[in-house]
Structure 1
């Protein structure tokens, strides 16, 4: 039933695409196109609910033009299980589609980095890469690349389970393994992404679970600047240098955000709602600053490992030491930001306390005003009061009594105001 539903949704989705194309040509049936657009979301939900065997059977029954669409909706964690279920011919098609965006190989051409499209072993045999970058690869992709180059590619999902002492090491065959965290700074979603590096000969292999701005930046620089890198080790050092630059940029953004919060905090007044917003903004920047500090610390450990094990040439050693000096300067900035965050946090909490004190003060004033009234009300309810006013009509007696209570309350309020004014004049200016 689910397979038939998938086919039905595919038909509806293709119909919606045809209607959208008709809109671009001035087709009048715009409402029908808008009605069919949600079918792709429904298809994604159905695909996520199917098991690997059902997905494999569904893919086998689809037409060649529909297979890429459905395969692109399969959750990554299920990809390996689905590939194990399909036949060899379909597996090759699915693997090639996945490699088109998960595998990037780069070689030097006229001193510049050049990306090479890789979809089969024949493509790898024709190139001499200095950098092989894998983004969220499947198990099949890792085994295929590892078999071709003679090494074992780790699973990105397992990188967070490594002990700190096992993140940097050199194997007996000379392979250098480094597992580092790279900062991903997005608004409202900042986190550290683990990346595995393997230096095998002059080739750098990098494995991670998602795309990172640092890697995009380095690819752009190496493509446009001649002689920017010469081998995999240069590429590794430049990635660490770009990570330090990215951390510095994130610190500048943190400065700016805290500056905006500071302007709000240093106002004379702040409501509780504004204080809550300021606390949320400060907490977000504190989290980002902590991630930056952890990121540069991890980069420093990786570079220190390369320097201590004497794995760098003289020019590369100089570059590594310069990156370490840049990281050392960032440590002072993160420490300053932590102090600023603590100050702003204390200031916001102080405003919250002031607001609470104002509320308590109002309640205190009310209690002081009503204190003599309670005494008078108690007297008015006594039998002696009725005896003293027995010759006076009770509406008149209790009316005079009520007016007297208001007069006493007003006099109490005036006395409190005069006391406040006297106390304020005695304060030093």
Structure 2
């Protein structure tokens, strides 16, 4: 009897793996087939596979699902995660590794579309509170209330529950620099910080407003950020990861620094690809233009990372100076500042490398232009004697000199003479170029 659950788990896991493989093969076959109602058949096949996988996952224990996620490729991990019931995800998270947390943190939950999220501590872990009415907030003891692109009514609704005024995320850029960090007379602590959002198509800094009030952290922002998802996943899965609202705030800043470091690694990889092309022997003008565009994108991302970590340093320094954080949290704040200090050196180095690659690319463009000018110069030198001869031939003296000679013969001889002079001029230029190369080699 003791081996029965394990055998059942093996059967369920193997069945899920088989369905994943069948899903890939079947969808490829259906996608390639030319048949009537192709889209309908493809949708039907996909729904059948999803229904079977979801049924098997519902029969597996959370720890078994976490163990299965460890052996799946990244794409299958995300696919299986989307098929897990939302109510069971928090039960699965404690059993997954940090690497999977990172992968899941880079994409949104299905219920991330909810614009108001509240979190409380339960048995050492943070868990989400279902917020449907105002009583759900007031009856619970949240340590973090997160609002993503809230409407005026939603901000008023949450603000009335705790007696505070939540800012409009559309107007955070109107705040002056000096008003980014301050403390109200009633003890409310306000922070306005930038968080990096690095996507494949665009990178930008997103402003986030924080308010610390009555041991609750309120965060208001315009859009979802990977840093916030990653922090929630860690707090859900790891016991005693956070103990209060200040821990949540510091961990968000620490995760932002970590996210910036990951983005810097992407800049390194991007510049390595660019460098392999720039340092090649030859490069066309089209390739050079593409390289300049890639270098410009990496420079823009590097600048945003530098600005982001500078803003984080200011925020953490403010928390330390204003004595907002507890004594045991000072070590975490100082570690964040040390991490930022190490990133400063990397961003400075990357700026130097970007300038070098930019200069090298522009140098290739100049070399290509010099080659074109050299060809034009050679042509002009070759045809210069011909222009003189042609000028003489166009005078009346030429007709007098060839009087009595049929014009086809005279003009043919004149043309042959011009070609001979051009050939002699070209050979003299080649000889001069060879002598110049010999001198340089010596």
TM class by shorter-chain length?
0.7 to 0.9
* Cα drift, residue 122 of structure 1: 2.4
Other structure's SS at 1:404 match? helix
- Which residue of the partner structure matches residue 410 of structure 1? 423
Alpha-carbon separation, structure 1, partners of 2:328 and 2:266 = 32
Other structure's SS at 1:227 match? coil
**TM-score, normalising length from structure 1?**
0.77
Q: Does 1:200 align with 2:207?
A: no
- Which residue of the partner structure matches residue 109 of structure 1? 122
Alpha-carbon separation, structure 1, partners of 2:153 and 2:112 = 10
Matched ranges for 1:358-373 at <5 A:
358-373=371-386
- Checking the alignment, whether the CA contact within 8 Å between 2:138 and 2:161 is kept in structure 1 is no
Q: Does 1:30 align with 2:37?
A: yes
Matched ranges for 1:67-216 at <5 A:
101-216=114-229
Alpha-carbon separation, structure 1, partners of 2:40 and 2:256 = 45
* Cα drift, residue 126 of structure 1: 3.2
* Cα drift, residue 298 of structure 1: 0.3
- Checking the alignment, whether the CA contact within 8 Å between 1:100 and 1:117 is kept in structure 2 is no
Alpha-carbon separation, structure 1, partners of 2:227 and 2:441 = 57
In the alignment, structure 2 segments of 5+ residues that lack a partner are 1-29, 42-110
Matched ranges for 1:242-261 at <5 A:
242-261=255-274
From 228, 242, 259, the equivalent of 1:229 is: 242
* Cα drift, residue 32 of structure 1: 9.1
CA deviation profile, 1:230-258 (whole Å, cap 9, x unmatched): 10000000000000000000001000000
- Checking the alignment, whether the CA contact within 8 Å between 1:99 and 1:141 is kept in structure 2 is no
* Cα drift, residue 125 of structure 1: 3.0
**TM-score, normalising length from structure 2?**
0.75
From 410, 423, 441, the equivalent of 1:397 is: 410
- Checking the alignment, whether the CA contact within 8 Å between 2:193 and 2:208 is kept in structure 1 is yes
CA deviation profile, 1:152-211 (whole Å, cap 9, x unmatched): 110100111110000100001111000000000011200000000000121101000000
From 335, 343, 362, the equivalent of 1:322 is: 335
Q: Cα RMSD (Å) of the superposition? A: 1.7
Alpha-carbon separation, structure 2, partners of 1:99 and 1:401 = 86
- Checking the alignment, whether the CA contact within 8 Å between 1:197 and 1:207 is kept in structure 2 is yes
CA deviation profile, 1:125-149 (whole Å, cap 9, x unmatched): 3321100000000000000000001
CA deviation profile, 1:263-299 (whole Å, cap 9, x unmatched): 0000010000000000000000000000000000000
Matched ranges for 1:57-68 at <5 A:
none
Residue-pair matches, total: 340
By relative contact order (CA 8 Å, sep 6+), the higher-ranking structure is: 2
Q: Does 1:220 align with 2:227?
A: no
| More displaced stretch, 114-123 vs 354-363 | 114-123
Q: Give runs of ≥4 in structure 1 deviating > 3 Å.
A: 31-34
